[in-house]
Structure 1
Amino acid sequence: MKQLALKIDVDTYRGTREGVPRLVEMLQQHEAQATFLFSLGPDHTGRAIKRVFRPGFMKKVSRTSVREHYGLKTLMYGTLLPGPDIGKRCGDIMRQVRDGGFEVGIHCWDHVYWQDNVAHQDVAWTARELQRACNRFEDVFGAPAKVHGAAGWQMNLHALRQEQRLGFDYCSDTRGSGPFVPIYRAEIINCPQLPTTLPTLDELIGVDGITVENVAQHLLKLTETPSPTGHVYTLHAEMEGMKLSGVFEELLAGWREQGYQLVSLEQYFAGLDVAKLPRHEVSFGEIPGRSGDLALQGPQFLPLAE
């Protein structure tokens, strides 16, 4: 059966409290599975104001109405208001997701801090931030996480190595076309990547005539012809779980009509022959609709013939 894995990034305190329960309800109604990746430390969304100096950021903000989706209060966390500790305040909600039969994993400790800094940080900084998230995850769930999906698809070599050291079964930190074993500067990382293969709503809305009203149909056209390795779609609790819930309802129904089984990353990974996964370089570059460089599935590594 054709598979489409749903990966839900939960970035904020409000998204955890309001968006996550709504997404659980919708998924259950459509008998769909998904993986929820939680931000586990402080919500410092307001500190993202520094991104106004990043090329393309203001253009993206103007298209996607950040205030409408995140709310004014959230946009002041970490600046005019103290950032609430998401893991401490929302542990019950997170456990309810797990108890409802959904896979849970790590998105980050501090979303803005990771996204804005990891690309240029050293091994000590990277290990500390990942360990904080892992420790809090175990505090909340009583067991270690099996999956990590980087905030903003931002990574570095140390983060890739740490994922292997921390024992994640698989990760979803990259954008690409299909599952692969990551290689960075000729170093094999023994932790498969399940990259996001489809564009996100905030990358599409406001570009080339795509609106809230027709964005679902645009995405459904992209999935009409199935990929040999299936798809991974990343959604956000702050968007599909709130103002854009109607769009997500349309996508869920449309993918069902197209014959997709809507699965978690865990279910998607279980159907792969890991020994036969291709090896690809992890590269960094831009993608349409999003500012800054992201971790990408780069060229396939082909060993020299004997």
Structure 2
Amino acid sequence: MRTLVLKIDVDTYRGTLIGVPRLVELLLRHRADASFLFSLGPDHTGRAIKRVFRRGFMQKVSRTSVLAHYGFKTLMYGTLLPGPDIGRCCAGILRSVGEAGFETGIHCWDHIRWQDGVRHADARWTERELQLATKRYSEIFGEAARIHGAAGWQMNPHALRLMQRVGFSHSSDCRGTHPFMPVWNAEIVNCPQLPTTLPTLDELIGVDGVDDGNVHEHLLALTRDAPVNGHVFTLHAELEGMKLLPVFEKLLLGWHEQGYTLTTLSKLGAGLDPYYLPRHEIHWGRVPGRSGELLVQGAEFLNERLA
């Protein structure tokens, strides 16, 4: 069976308020399943201005029209405007996603704080951020979260260990090619990783003649052949749930035509036996079209390397 997971990252207050309901309606209409991963604390998107000094950031901003996608007000949150508390202000919307039958999980507490700070954070900082998110999730949904997907594909060894300690069944914190058990500096982490396997729309648009009008064709060409363990496609409520909603609908139609079952992270993970999953090193790397480094799936780990 051809399987493609739709992993929806919700980064901002505006994306939650506007993009999420639009995506729910579209997915229900096309009978497609998906995993929604929520930012549950304050929206401090405006603090991302610090990334102006990161290699490739301004190039990405100019290609993808950040202002058009996120809106001026969102880009002021956390600087000139106080950041709205997403989980508190939008709890009803978050619950409605689960009530509509979709899987929900944790993206982060504070998206900008995690994405820009977790790589070099200590255990105490990391645990506090995750505790805030897990507590808020339980308050909203009345149960513990089982799925996690890191903001910006950013983690650290403390965060990876917490995935197994907190009790997540699966996590999607990196980029890669197929499901695996992560290994960090020879330490095996007992929480399966279901990595994002496909490029995101904002990584493709504006490169090599790809634009809003043909990006779906480029992506559908990449999914013409289906891997054994399926694909994971990450989309964003702020992009595919708003300005790029028509593009996403073309993708849904195309994937249905290609014979894919559009599903969730948990359903993909349920068909995998962790005991037989390959162990792969996880390390920092770069992905075309995205600024800065993020976690990527590395070489398969062999116990003989420890001998």
Global fold match (TM > 0.5): yes
Match of 2:120 in 1: 120
Structure 1, unaligned stretches of length 5 or more? none
Give the partner amino acid of 2:35: T
- 2:184 counterpart of 1:180: no
Match of 1:269 in 2: 269
- 2:160 counterpart of 1:160: yes
Residues in 2 aligned to 1:275 and 1:254: alpha-carbon distance in whole angstroms: 34
- 2:39 counterpart of 1:39: yes
1:242-288 deviation line (CA, Å, top 9, x unaligned): 00000000000000000000001111111112221100001101110
Match of 2:67 in 1: 67
Residues in 2 aligned to 1:101 and 1:140: alpha-carbon distance in whole angstroms: 16
The correspondence of residues 21-32 of structure 1 with structure 2, limited to 5 A, is 21-32=21-32
* Distance apart, 1:304 and its partner CA: 2.6
1:124-181 deviation line (CA, Å, top 9, x unaligned): 0000101110010001111000011000000100100111110100100000000000
TM-score of the superposition, structure 1-length normalised?
0.99
Match of 1:193 in 2: 193
Give the partner amino acid of 1:136: R
* Distance apart, 1:30 and its partner CA: 0.8
The correspondence of residues 120-159 of structure 1 with structure 2, limited to 5 A, is 120-159=120-159
Match of 2:241 in 1: 241
* Distance apart, 1:111 and its partner CA: 0.2
Residues in 1 aligned to 2:275 and 2:28: alpha-carbon distance in whole angstroms: 33
Runs of 4+ in 1 over 3 A off after TM superposition: none
Residues in 1 aligned to 2:280 and 2:45: alpha-carbon distance in whole angstroms: 33
Give the partner amino acid of 2:299: P
Residues in 2 aligned to 1:271 and 1:166: alpha-carbon distance in whole angstroms: 22
Residues in 2 aligned to 1:103 and 1:231: alpha-carbon distance in whole angstroms: 17
* Distance apart, 1:204 and its partner CA: 0.4
Match of 2:49 in 1: 49
Residues in 2 aligned to 1:6 and 1:266: alpha-carbon distance in whole angstroms: 11
Partner-residue secondary structure (3-state), 1:290: coil
Partner-residue secondary structure (3-state), 1:62: helix
Number of residue pairs the alignment of both structures matches? 306
* Distance apart, 1:236 and its partner CA: 0.2
TM-score of the superposition, structure 2-length normalised?
0.98
Give the partner amino acid of 1:15: G
Match of 2:295 in 1: 295
Residues in 1 aligned to 2:162 and 2:223: alpha-carbon distance in whole angstroms: 33
Residues in 1 aligned to 2:275 and 2:5: alpha-carbon distance in whole angstroms: 21
Residues in 2 aligned to 1:303 and 1:42: alpha-carbon distance in whole angstroms: 43
* Distance apart, 1:82 and its partner CA: 0.3
Residues in 1 aligned to 2:301 and 2:228: alpha-carbon distance in whole angstroms: 19
Residues in 2 aligned to 1:291 and 1:125: alpha-carbon distance in whole angstroms: 24
Match of 1:90 in 2: 90
* Distance apart, 1:209 and its partner CA: 0.7
Residues in 2 aligned to 1:229 and 1:147: alpha-carbon distance in whole angstroms: 18
Match of 2:254 in 1: 254
- Provide the aligned C-alpha RMSD in A: 1.0
Residues in 2 aligned to 1:93 and 1:299: alpha-carbon distance in whole angstroms: 40
Residues in 1 aligned to 2:273 and 2:187: alpha-carbon distance in whole angstroms: 21
Fraction of identical pairs, as percent: 66
